[in-house]
């Protein structure tokens, strides 16, 4: 079984993915970490050195590779992964289950404000600018996230509650 988690940055994809994979005795793979290992540099450095277009092409290539090669895994994608090229089509075609982890803007802004330095798209924004930026981004990205097979409303739920809900869907 292949389970792919999608959602905005800081929606909990990696944390949920690790816990879900452990509980289901599956391999966990974080696409961003996979890309970093492949390139031997951080996502931030890839963006800085080669730009977003290079990154998105690499991301698409490695997403397809992972989904072709791995057969029993939980994959956490980057927040933008489903929104570029044919990535969401690739996810839907090559995985058994895709899950959109949905959270309100205020919760996302709070989480992102605590980790801005590691997030190239928002590191230069003030905390006051985050909600507007996130709202605009979500408006653009929701149409892609909404194509996931399942949507989980993660507001006011613990990590374990979200994992349990996903397990019931699978």
Domain-located, residue 72: yes
Residue pLDDT, tens place only, 21-75: 999 999 999 999 999 999 999 988 998 899 989 999 999 999 999 999 999 999 9
> Is residue 165 packed enough to be buried (19+ CB in 10 Å), middle (13-18) or exposed (0-12)?
middle
* Structural domain boundaries, residue 33: 2-159
Q: Which of 90, 103, 98, 85 is nearest to 148 (CA)?
A: 98
pLDDT surpassing 90 at residue 104: yes
Counting runs of H as helices and runs of E as strands, what totals does the chain give? 7, 5
Domain-located, residue 165: no
Predicted confidence at residue 120, as pLDDT, reads 72
pLDDT surpassing 80 at residue 118: no
Domain-located, residue 28: yes
Domain-located, residue 166: no
CATH for 32: 3.40.50.300
For the chain, how many structural domains are there in total? 1
Domain-located, residue 126: yes
Cα separation, 131 vs 85, in Å, equals 26
For range 111-136, the mean pLDDT: 88
Predicted confidence at residue 34, as pLDDT, reads 97
Predicted confidence at residue 149, as pLDDT, reads 97
Predicted confidence at residue 119, as pLDDT, reads 77
Report the DSSP beta bridge partners of residue 99: 5, 150
The β-bridge relationship of strands 27-30 and 150-153 is unpaired
Token output for 130: 């985050």
């Amino acid at each position: 079984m292949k389970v792919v988690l999608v959602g905005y940055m800081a929606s909990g994809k990696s944390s949920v993915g690790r816990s879900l994979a452990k509980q289901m005795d599956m391999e966990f793979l974080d696409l961003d970490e996979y890309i970093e290992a492949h390139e031997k540099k951080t996502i931030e450095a890839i963006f800085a050195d080669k730009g977003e277009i290079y990154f998105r092409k690499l991301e698409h290539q490695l997403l397809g590779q992972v989904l072709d090669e791995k057969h029993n895994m939980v994959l956490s994608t980057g927040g933008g992964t489903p929104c570029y090229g044919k990535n969401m089509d690739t996810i839907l075609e090559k995985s058994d289950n895709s899950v959109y982890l949905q959270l309100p803007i205020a919760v996302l802004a709070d989480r992102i404000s605590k980790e801005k330095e590691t997030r190239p798209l928002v590191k230069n924004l003030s905390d006051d600018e985050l909600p507007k930026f996130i709202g605009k981004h979500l408006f653009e990205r929701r149409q892609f996230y909404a194509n996931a097979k399942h949507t989980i409303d993660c507001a006011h739920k613990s990590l374990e509650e979200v994992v349990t809900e996903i397990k019931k869907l699978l």
